[in-house]
């Protein structure tokens, strides 16, 4: 598994040292709130409703058991024994005391973890398919590219003070588990007609109040030219992006105002000046080294004589949570952290340690995090999946909800977040209680519900089968419903169903929508396919009747 070099580790320490000095100046009254805010955000530190929150990066979603134990230790020492896995391959800790932040960051840096640029108006953590390297038909494992691009934009002197935050996702697989076209910038690994490897580039996606799908600005950029192309994109954004309107800071507004063609032309014009600069070429020698560092630590196994265990609960869990691996003899295991009443993505320090131990025993010391706030064990021997399930069952981690309606994605909502207009977790809990019947869940099948507590859309409600957006009306909580959004096969922003629905009856509305789907479904048709076929009217009619 890839690990930082001593120079990289030293860089993390230097960054902590610098932030500690800034913190001391702030606490001594020598650095005002506004400037300190800008600096602390670039180190992942937020001021939330009750206390400070720290967002720690899990680059490309890959963690070692050692790193997860380090996160568990931070949860115990600095939070109240919890960590929250986010939809963008980060983990968040609450209840952080400001004077303790430097010590916390030092502990993380010992494990090769950091919070650099997990917030603020700079390039954020670069996300990848959590199944990178594991599935058939993938063009390439995206993670070496993520790492090289992450490094390049790490404290980049020119692009650390952008108009708004800048989120990048890279996908090398057939299906898009990264949702790259709802990112500020998405890269898709592709091969051209000559078989050369490169990237299609998509710019200007984003959710929030003005949800937009990123436009393709280049259909093919050669691998070694990608850094100069990204720099040109950011330079145009840095110089021309809106800075005068708080709600129009993201690059999507610039792309919309200029038009995708004009934006692409400006980027291309700038790029022609730098494209051939040898200093801006991606280092192909380093890339090859990283490919070795990220190579799968397993070889195919002949398990023909292996007999699968017969166990009803195991088979339900396996059907929902275990996926085919491209390497013979191995499986990909998805572990849901979903528990009634708990924030989706929340894990206790004890759970983190259990998962770290189990990953050490069953998954070559490696875990991945996903945008559905689950944990993936990427390398489980087929003949050990049952043993793993028994261990997970013992610790209450064998929830068979993966891919079912009960695997809800929700932001922390108004219970925790300063920005939220409505609660998210209690709604998720009520939906789970309503559908607390495995036979019914299996009948409904793969259907996702995402709940965001405000327009910032942290739970990506626009791209869920059923999306709920919390809002306030006359002091009461209401939820706007969107239907049939998706990102996996294609990127579609969900359609608004109609007027928002009161929190009191929102779960009834969700159940009605599910019933309309089931009534109209042909064979195993997906929700989005039913929606395309019958349109919004039947859903609208039943919800508002």
Judged by the rule CB under 8 A, the positions of this chain that interact with other proteins are 7-8, 10-11, 14-15, 17-18, 21-22, 25, 30-31, 34-35, 38-39, 121, 151-163, 227, 235, 238-239, 243, 273-274, 277, 279-280, 283, 286
CA atoms of 45 and 40, how far apart (whole Å): 5
Nearer to other proteins among residue 160 and residue 456 (C-beta): 160
Q: What is the DSSP string of 20-88?
A: HHHHHHHHTTSS-HHHHHHHHHTTTEEE-SSSEEEEEE-GGGEEEHHHHHHHHHHHHHHSSSEEEE-TT
Cα distance between residue 182 and residue 211, in whole Å? 8
145 or 527: whose CB is closer to other proteins?
A: 145
Please classify residue 33 by burial: count the beta carbons closer than 10 Å to its beta carbon, then call 0-12 exposed, 13-18 middle and 19+ buried: exposed
Measure the N-to-C terminal CA separation of the chain; round to a whole number of Å: 56
Main-chain phi, psi angles of 207, to 5 degrees: -100, -135
Smallest separation, CB 283 to other proteins (Å): 6
**Contact present, 479 and 500 (Cβ < 8 Å):** yes
Tokens for 25? 């100046």
| Nearer to other proteins (CB atom), residue 6 or residue 475 | 6
Cβ closest to other proteins, residue 151 vs residue 496: 151
Find the radius of gyration of the CA atoms of the chain: 23
Least separation in angstroms between residue 7's CB and other proteins is 5
476 three-state secondary structure:
strand
How far apart (Å, rounded) are the C-alpha atoms in residues 401 and 374? Answer: 10
**Burial code of 173-198, b = ≥16 C-beta within 10 A, e = fewer?**
beebbbbbbbbbbbbbbeeeeeeebb
10 Å CB burial of residue 107 (0-12, 13-18, 19+) is middle
Nearer to other proteins (CB atom), residue 168 or residue 510: 168
Q: What is the DSSP string of 152-206?
A: HTTT-SSSSS-SS-B-EEEE-SSS-TT-GGGSSEEEEEEE-TT--EEEEEEE--B
Q: Which is nearer to other proteins, 6 or 195 (CB)?
A: 6
Q: Kindly tell me which of 77 and 106 has the beta carbon lying closer to other proteins.
A: 106
CB of 497 to other proteins, least distance (A): 38
**C-alpha to C-alpha distances, 130 to 63, 134, 143, nearest whole angstrom:** 11, 9, 10
Q: Please name every residue paired with 206 in a beta bridge, in sequence order, or none if there are none.
A: 212
The helix (H) or strand (E) run that includes residue 258 is helix 251-258
Taking the least distance from each CB to other proteins, the nearer of 138 and 270 is 270
Shortest Cβ 141–other proteins spacing (Å): 21
Q: Rank residues 106 and 434 by Cβ distance to other proteins and give the closer one.
A: 106
Q: In terms of C-beta distances under 8 Å and separation of at least 24 residues, what long-range contacts does 99-103 make, across chains too?
A: 99/23, 99/27, 101/19, 101/20, 101/23, 101/43, 101/45, 101/52, 101/54, 102/16, 102/19, 102/20, 102/23
Q: How far is the CB of 157 from other proteins (least distance, A)?
A: 4
If the CB atoms of residues 154 and 200 are measured against other proteins, the closer one turns out to be 154
Q: Write down the least CB distance from residue 33 to other proteins, Å.
A: 12
Nearer to other proteins, 170 or 459 (CB): 170
Identify whether the C-beta of residue 104 lies closer than 8 Å to the C-beta of residue 94: no
Least spacing, CB of residue 233 vs other proteins, in Å: 12
Rounded CA separation 430/432 (Å): 5
CB of 31 to other proteins, least distance (A): 8
The answer to whether 448 touches 460, Cβ cutoff 8 Å, is no
Smallest gap from Cβ 265 to other proteins, in A, equals: 15
Which residue, 432, 442, 437, 433, is CA-closest to 407? 432
- The encoded tokens of residue 163 equal 């108009």
Which of residues 42 and 381 has its CB atom nearest to other proteins in the complex? Answer: 42
The minimum distance between CB 156 and other proteins, in angstroms, equals 6
Q: Give the sign of the dihedral formed by CA 282, CA 284, CA 288, CA 293.
A: negative
What's the CA gap between 169 and 126, in Å, rounded?
6
> Residue 150 CB, nearest distance to other proteins (Å)?
9
CB of 430 to other proteins, least distance (A): 41
CB of 25 to other proteins, least distance (A): 8
Q: Cβ 415 to other proteins, closest distance in Å? A: 30
- Please, which residue, 60 or 416, has the CB nearer to other proteins? 60
Q: Which of 31, 260 has the CB closer to other proteins?
A: 31
CB neighbour list of residue 15: distance below 8 Å, 6 or more residues apart? 43, 105, 114, 116, 155
């Amino acid at each position: 598994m890839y690990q930082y070099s001593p120079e990289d580790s030293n860089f993390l320490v230097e960054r902590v040292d610098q932030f500690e000095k800034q913190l001391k100046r702030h606490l001594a009254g020598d650095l005002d709130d506004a400037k300190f805010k800008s600096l602390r955000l670039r180190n992942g530190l937020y001021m939330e409703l009750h206390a400070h929150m720290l967002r720690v990066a899990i680059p490309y979603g890959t963690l070692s058991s050692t790193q997860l134990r380090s996160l568990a230790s931070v949860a115990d020492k600095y939070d109240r024994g919890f960590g929250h896995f986010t939809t963008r391959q980060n983990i968040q800790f609450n209840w952080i005391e400001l004077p303790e932040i430097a010590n916390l960051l030092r502990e993380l840096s010992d494990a090769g973890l950091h919070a650099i640029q997990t917030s603020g108006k700079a390039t954020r953590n670069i996300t990848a398919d959590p199944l990178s390297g594991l599935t058939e038909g993938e063009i390439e494992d995206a993670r070496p590219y993520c790492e090289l691009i992450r490094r390049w934009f790490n404290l980049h002197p020119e692009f650390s003070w952008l108009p708004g935050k800048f989120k990048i996702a890279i996908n090398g697989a057939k299906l898009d588990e990264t949702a790259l076209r709802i990112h500020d910038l998405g890269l898709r690994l592709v091969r051209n007609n000559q078989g050369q490897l490169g990237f299609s580039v998509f710019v200007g996606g984003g959710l929030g109040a003005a949800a937009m799908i990123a436009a393709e600005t280049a259909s093919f950029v050669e691998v070694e030219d990608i850094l100069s192309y990204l720099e040109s994109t950011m330079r145009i954004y840095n110089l021309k992006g809106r800075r005068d309107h708080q709600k129009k800071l993201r690059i999507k507004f610039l792309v919309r105002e200029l038009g995708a063609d004009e934006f692409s032309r400006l980027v291309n014009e700038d790029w022609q000046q730098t494209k051939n600069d040898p200093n801006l070429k991606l280092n192909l020698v380093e890339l090859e080294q990283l490919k070795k560092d990220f190579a799968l630590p397993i070889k195919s196994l002949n398990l023909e004589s292996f007999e699968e265990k017969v166990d009803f609960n195991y088979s339900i869990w396996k059907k929902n949570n275990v996926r085919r691996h491209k390497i013979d003899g191995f499986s990909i295991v998805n572990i849901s952290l979903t528990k009634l009443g708990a924030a989706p993505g929340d894990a206790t320090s004890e759970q983190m340690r259990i998962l770290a131990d189990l990953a050490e025993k069953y998954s070559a010391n490696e875990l991945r995090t996903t945008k559905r706030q689950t944990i993936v064990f990427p390398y489980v021997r087929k003949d050990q999946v049952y043993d793993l399930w028994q261990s997970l069952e013992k610790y209450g981690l064998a929830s068979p909800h993966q891919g079912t309606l009960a695997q809800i994605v929700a932001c922390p909502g108004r219970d925790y977040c300063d920005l939220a207009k409505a609660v998210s977790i209690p709604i998720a809990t009520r939906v789970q209680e309503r559908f607390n019947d495995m036979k019914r869940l299996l009948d409904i099948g793969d259907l996702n519900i995402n709940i965001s507590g405000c327009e910032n859309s942290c739970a990506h409600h626009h791209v869920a089968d059923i999306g709920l957006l919390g809002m306030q009306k006359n002091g009461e909580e209401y939820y706007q419903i969107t239907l049939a959004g998706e990102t996996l096969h294609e990127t579609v922003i969900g359609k608004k169903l109609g007027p928002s629905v009161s929190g009191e009856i929102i779960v009834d509305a969700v159940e009605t929508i599910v019933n309309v789907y089931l009534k109209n479904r042909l064979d195993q048709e997906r929700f989005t396919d039913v929606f395309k076929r019958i349109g919004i009217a039947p859903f609208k009619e039943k919800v508002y009747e």
